[in-house]
Structure 1
């Protein structure tokens, strides 16, 4: 995620490079808390509604109630924590000495400006989402008829609250470009929230108490496949929006090494790549093994291996995702502008904040051609990967079923 921010004022002699610092650690820590709570709320709620609810319902009302109540409690806590996190972010920005002026932050909400309305909606909607999910923390309600409505309404409120962080706060000069940028940011944020928050929710469900040992085989196989479909869609959204943001902020691979923005973005890309590799491991090894386990029965020795490995892998993915969110707030400005100002500084002695800024990239016909080609390629790769892993899971499950009907050692089978 990229965010704009001014360079620190300083005098600059001709021939020197302008400073592009990472920014204060406290700023990034406060921003990280806001992102984790908002995106976590959206992801955990989406997991309960889209991925784990249907398989839990097929097992029985008790399992559905236990799974929903655990995830709802987590989402409510995240939603409530998001309110002070957002206010702290505002208070930190409103304080002239780098502290936290909560009185000024409170006055910013609905102060008549567009920025104030967006901040007010952010706080109000995430709090409303937590209130909507609060009844589902009670198991008797969690399996009732209101479950889907409350989860859907809470997810909608949380998604809009997350979206307010990137909605434009002024009338744009170019409605088309601004609208497209906003859509890209929504794909980036919602995709990341559903994917990373869902991973955290899955990790919580692996803790004993939500699903009885006898029902784990019937629950985890369809739940994982449903979450995999959602995760693949989220990865597609993140990849496509990330390609657009890269095109918008970076001119060539060299700027990944020559600018501070590029180096931070490079770290973010490495973390994202590590998450993808773990996802590939899950998709092509762990998930098919879970399906094979289900076909073979819970008494197979493979069960112990998977029960140990699945929580570790999912927890590792969730921690990597939280690390990625911590790195993201360090992105300031753009690599294009930093490289442009570094070059301009060689021929100027003006202060850093007085250096000219590079204009936005112009969209041409080739931009749409390359963008469309990238979209088709990314979607095709994700769909092919999901279908291939599904076919692999079915083949392994079929082989396991055949092996179970053949006399011999189950471990060899």
Structure 2
């Protein structure tokens, strides 16, 4: 005889299914990646021409300065122009109700009278203005002229502000201090990634024949790489510090890197970034000091072999990884804190509405937050400055040893390496 069922009011508790947190359509992230790659690529290429490659080439013949500036300006101008349809395509895809592309709605959103519309309009206008500013430098006759630095500086400012419009608040914030600090962290994150990623792509373009005269390659690459290394170190510092803040804001503990979709995507991003750092460390502590040492010792042939073989290969791998980070980033939706909280709510509430899940309030900043943040900032700065100084010392030590071994350097290239 079957056992009688208990009354309905004492039935065993049944939890609701955990809320779904999908990655989102691949197409959405591909469209977003195109937007970020063009905006950040333009800014990074102009920064490389202004801060690293240009000053290194200016110490050599006018032809080298013109060739380096013109090649970077051409690539930057192309990316600046392509950024306009990329931004409009991203807007059109978001405005479409059926997953297509509503370009009419995207165009109408620019300068539509709202703060969001003004920011979107400025994003398109400024990146196009930046492309127009660097356009004269695409011609060699102007690339080494007196207008080079002002045009590059104006183009870099336009690109930086265009990037900033993607994170500037579009409404009056309730907490000005927190919003200002958060916006500053986003600017560090975006500008650091732009200068680093665009700089890597620019170095690859300069490594191709035609930009630097063969007679000037040894004298150009060593200071150019050293200058870019300083810029890259600054970028790593900016990305690390802003990334720590964004991690604190969106993740509660390391366990959420595995238990939430946001955390898993962020973990992939961190792994790619870590691999990028390892390749950068290889450049900074092995390849760059060796190139510097060979140059200071007066030997050009081994330096040419290293630059034409090892250096471009490593930089190409770094550029691919940097662009991969830009591709992964659009998959980050919401926050790990809210995803973990909503999963817990669903597990303990059988009547929860999956479409209207509660969210946690923003984290409150305490004295401990400032103490930990200050300590992390000082530690990251110390590591970056110490690494740059150490790589310089390694280069000088290698130079001294290379100078003492002059007969060895006189050997054929294959034997010397």
Q: Scaled by the length of structure 2, what TM-score is found?
A: 0.94
CA distance in 2, matches of 1:18, 1:209: 56
CA distance in 1, matches of 2:416, 2:315: 28
Structure 1 unmatched ranges of 5 or more = 1-12
The residue that corresponds to 1:316 in the other structure is 317
Residue 286 of structure 2 aligns to a residue whose secondary structure is helix
Residue 17 of structure 1 aligns to a residue whose secondary structure is coil
Is contact 1:63–1:211 with CA below 8 Å preserved after alignment?
yes
The residue that corresponds to 2:242 in the other structure is 241
Shift of residue 351 of structure 1? 2.6
The residue that corresponds to 1:328 in the other structure is 329
CA distance in 2, matches of 1:133, 1:70: 11
Shift of residue 412 of structure 1? 5.7
Q: Counterparts of 1:79-90 in structure 2 under 5 Å?
A: 79-90=80-91
Is contact 1:217–1:293 with CA below 8 Å preserved after alignment?
no
Shift of residue 14 of structure 1? 3.5
CA distance in 1, matches of 2:164, 2:300: 46
Q: Counterparts of 1:253-268 in structure 2 under 5 Å?
A: 253-268=254-269
The residue that corresponds to 1:5 in the other structure is none
CA distance in 1, matches of 2:353, 2:250: 23
CA distance in 2, matches of 1:328, 1:60: 42
The residue that corresponds to 1:192 in the other structure is 193
CA distance in 1, matches of 2:300, 2:149: 34
Structure 2 unmatched ranges of 5 or more = 1-13
The residue that corresponds to 2:102 in the other structure is 101
Q: Scaled by the length of structure 1, what TM-score is found?
A: 0.95
- Residue 406 (structure 2) aligned to one of 400, 404, 407: 404
Is contact 2:295–2:303 with CA below 8 Å preserved after alignment?
no
Is contact 1:42–1:197 with CA below 8 Å preserved after alignment?
yes
Q: Counterparts of 1:1-400 in structure 2 under 5 Å?
A: 14-301=15-302, 303-348=304-349, 349-400=351-402
CA distance in 1, matches of 2:388, 2:410: 33
Indicate the RMSD between aligned Cα atoms, in angstroms.
1.5
Aligned residues: 401
Larger Rg: 2
CA distance in 2, matches of 1:128, 1:198: 21
Shift of residue 296 of structure 1? 3.7
Residue 328 of structure 1 aligns to a residue whose secondary structure is helix
CA distance in 2, matches of 1:110, 1:412: 62
Is contact 2:292–2:395 with CA below 8 Å preserved after alignment?
yes
Residue 211 of structure 1 aligns to a residue whose secondary structure is coil
Post-superposition Cα deviations, 1:26-82, rounded to whole Å, max 9, x if no partner, equal 110010000000000000000000001111011111000000000000000000000
CA distance in 2, matches of 1:83, 1:301: 44
CA distance in 2, matches of 1:94, 1:197: 29
Post-superposition Cα deviations, 1:169-214, rounded to whole Å, max 9, x if no partner, equal 1111111111100000000000000011101100110001101121
CA distance in 1, matches of 2:42, 2:150: 16
Shift of residue 404 of structure 1? 1.5
CA distance in 1, matches of 2:191, 2:416: 44
CA distance in 1, matches of 2:55, 2:84: 31
